[in-house]
Amino acid sequence: MFERDGIYQIYVQAMQEDGVGALYKKYEELKRKLEGQGYFDSSHKQKIPQMPKVIGVLTSQTGAVIRDIINVSTRRNPHVRIRLLPVPVQGQDAAPKIAEGIAYMNQHKLADVLILARGGGSLEDLWPFNEEVVADAIYQSHIPIISAVGHETDFTIADFTADLRAPTPSAAAELAVPDIYELKQKIRRISK
């Protein structure tokens, strides 16, 4: 420190990004690895069923996400069943619990399509959806999966691995559940 002017002089020999920078680097490395292994290939994507009877939802049991999915789904088709498997969607234990939930739904054939959902947040908040264990569970799922994690601008490894990406949880419900009233109108027009 130079006392007369109050100026600091710092000599830097090395610098490394901290926080989000390190996470983003880890994200990009895993993304490249899984892309190289074919996890994101369109040939591996399953079709979303046109008339699912049971929608499996893996998300937190409290909060706006599950309410939005239920509201949109039942408005579009009041006969569709929603089967919620509550999982933590944030924190250190979330990724293995999400992967276990996907495996459980598959093992017991509990749904025709799965929605993996979480509201928005920071890269740290969404991190469980960027873990390899979750990507593996999605890739191995026999039940088609719609990923609806974060906001429209958020992209996670789960989004790339899933059979379909929705920009929001509400949009996932729209993609999973056909509008039965619209279908009835089409049938009426065709039968005339």
CATH topology of domain 20-191: Rossmann fold (3.40.50)
Q: What is the pLDDT of residue 3?
A: 73
Range with the poorest average pLDDT among 12-16, 104-108, 157-161: 12-16
Give the residue-averaged pLDDT of 104-120. 97
Strands of 81-86's sheet in order across:
81-86, 54-59, 113-118, 145-149, 164-165
- pTM of this structure: 0.87
pLDDT tens, 154-167?
899 999 999 999 99
Identity at 103, one-letter amino acid code: A
Would you say residue 19 has pLDDT above 60?
Answer: no
Helix axes 20-36, 132-140, angle to 10 degrees: 30
User: Which whole-number Å values give the CA distances from 174 to 62, 80, 178, in the listed order?
Assistant: 20, 12, 7
Domain residue spans in the chain?
Answer: 20-191
Report the C-alpha gap between 66 and 169 in whole angstroms. 8
- DSSP secondary structure, 88-136, as one string: --SSTTHHHHHHHHHHHHHHTT--SEEEEEE----TTTTGGGGSHHHHH
Q: What's the pLDDT score for residue 23?
A: 87
Confidence bin at 153 (pLDDT 50/70/90) = confident
